[in-house]
């Protein structure tokens, strides 16, 4: 059995890792790390794990953890891992980082958007961006994975087939995204209280959200052009789920069927991407609790734009599920192991 350690196990993504790894046949969890709850029972923080997890929360001694674990998941605040990760750790254990620390290759761009000095810029080049459907082969050989952000995962997979083919004008691309509140984390903030979020919707981070450069980078790699976009996330009164609605002008002559065919081709063999039939719009409910991304498009001949839509569980495929998928690739496990989750309705 591969031994896994989690730093940040009592955040929403961290505890979702626990849910997934408990159902994984090749892995056992050796370390539940949580600075806020050291020495407390993990199951007393998250009551869903009563009778399933007896462990006590430990701290964040990364060097020690690397001695005890084969793989380390870090679900930690931005800048945290960059401050403590060392070559010595990477020699002992594979690291899958759910924060943004190693996602952006241009360190100065990272520092500008995040307002943080990067403490281990020397490790950035090595890190592999863990979007499995795009970078599968590199992931298999990686020691350090930059697990993608939730919005970038859903956005990139929704847009990639047309961006890759050069069938959309990337200068016209606009991404309007909507996320459930678990994406805001488990910190005690007034703005995330039930009464502030419930019966409300708002945009946030307008023209300034930190996932913007990450999305731009990925779409630039895919399209072979420098991409600059508008990206607007919105906070939705629900726990889980991300919906992306993206707009772009079609370049050249492409019928609605031809555009759709690009998705069917690219995702034919991808277990975790479901191209919906006809023009059925994706719904977050259909993927809740699973590692699926549902995508579909609608071509509008009136404006010659294509509307690209994707739905995903932000905590699963958008965080912990994709992290497990990355681990499966890195360790040569079946890519679907632990992730054959049927979405839960209602």
Applying the rule CB under 8 A, the residues between 176 and 195 that interact with a second copy are: 176, 178, 180-182, 186, 188-190, 192-195
For the bound state, the minimum distance from the C-beta of residue 258 to a second copy, rounded and expressed in Å, comes to 17
In the complex, least distance from residue 275 CB atom to a second copy, rounded to whole angstroms: 9
Residue 251 lies near a second copy (rule: CB under 8 A): no
Residue 320 found at the interface with a second copy (CB under 8 A): no
Size of the site for a second copy (CB under 8 A): 86
Residues in the chain: 346
Active site annotation includes 150: yes
Site for a second copy in 15-44 (CB under 8 A): 15, 19, 22-23, 44
Query: Which one-letter DSSP state was computed for residue 143?
Result: S
Among 125, 141, 207, 257, binds a second copy (CB under 8 A): 207
- Encoded one letter per residue, x for contact with a second copy by CB under 8 A and - for no contact, window 260-279 reads --------------x-xx-x
Distance CA 159, CA 247 (A): 9
CB 311 within 8 A of CB 282: yes
At CA 158, angle to CA 155 and CA 163, rounded to 5?
95
Euclidean distance between the first and final Cα of the chain, in Å?
Answer: 35
Smaller CB separation from a second copy, 223 or 290: 290
- Interior/surface letters 74-95, b for 16+ CB within 10 angstroms, e for the rest: bbbeebbbbebbeeebbebbbb
Structure tokens at 297: 């498009």
Cα 210 to chain centroid distance, Å, stands at 14
Supply the minimum distance, in Å, between the C-beta of residue 242 and a second copy: 9
Among 93, 123, 309, 319, binds a second copy (CB under 8 A): 309
Which residue in 61, 92, 121, 172 binds a second copy (CB under 8 A)? 172
Q: CA triplet 113, 13, 18: central angle to 5 degrees?
A: 150
Per the structure block, which two tokens stand in for 128? 């592999």
Judge whether 218 and 173 are in contact, CB under 8 Å.
no
Tell whether residue 80 is a contact of a second copy (CB under 8 A).
no
Work out which of 59, 77, 121, 343 binds a second copy, going by CB under 8 A: 343
Rule CB under 8 A: say whether 255 interacts with a second copy. Answer: no
Catalytic choice (57, 150, 154, 195): 150
Whether cis (ω within 30° of 0) applies to the bond prior to 346 is yes
Q: How far is the CB of 324 from a second copy (least distance, A)?
A: 13
Instruction: Give the residue numbers annotated as catalytic, written as ranges.
Output: 150
């Amino acid at each position: 059995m591969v031994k896994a350690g989690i730093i940040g196990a009592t955040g929403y993504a961290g505890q979702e890792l626990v849910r997934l790894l408990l159902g994984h046949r090749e892995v056992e969890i050796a370390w539940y790390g949580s600075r806020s709850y050291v020495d407390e029972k993990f199951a007393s923080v998250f009551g869903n794990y009563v009778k399933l997890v007896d462990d006590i929360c430990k701290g964040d001694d990364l060097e020690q953890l690397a001695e005890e674990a084969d793989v380390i998941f870090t679900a930690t605040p931005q800048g945290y891992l960059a401050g403590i990760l060392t070559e010595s750790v990477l020699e002992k254990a594979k690291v899958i980082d759910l924060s943004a620390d190693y996602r952006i290759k241009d360190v100065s761009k990272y520092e500008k958007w995040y307002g943080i000095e990067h403490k281990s810029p020397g490790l950035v080049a090595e890190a592999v961006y863990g979007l499995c459907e795009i970078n599968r082969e590199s992931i298999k050989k990686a020691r350090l994975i930059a697990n993608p952000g939730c919005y970038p995962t859903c956005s990139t997979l929704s847009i990639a087939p047309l961006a890759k083919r050069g069938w959309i004008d990337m200068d016209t691309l606009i991404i309007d995204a909507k996320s459930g509140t678990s994406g805001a984390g488990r910190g005690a903030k007034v703005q995330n209280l039930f009464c502030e979020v419930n019966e409300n919707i708002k945009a946030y981070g307008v023209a300034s959200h930190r996932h913007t450069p990450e999305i731009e980078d990925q779409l630039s790699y895919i399209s072979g052009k420098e991409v600059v976009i508008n990206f607007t996330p919105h906070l939705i009164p629900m726990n889980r789920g991300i919906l992306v609605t993206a707009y772009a002008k079609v370049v050249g002559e492409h019928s609605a069927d031809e555009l759709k065919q690009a998705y069917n081709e690219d995702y034919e063999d991808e277990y975790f991407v479901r191209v919906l039939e006809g023009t059925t719009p994706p719904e977050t409910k259909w993927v809740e609790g699973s590692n699926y991304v549902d995508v579909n498009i609608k071509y509008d001949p009136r404006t010659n734009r294509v509307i690209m839509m994707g739905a995903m569980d932000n905590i699963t495929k958008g965080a912990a599920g994709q992290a497990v998928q990355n681990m499966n690739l890195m360790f040569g496990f079946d890519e679907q192991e632990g992730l054959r989750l049927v979405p839960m309705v209602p």
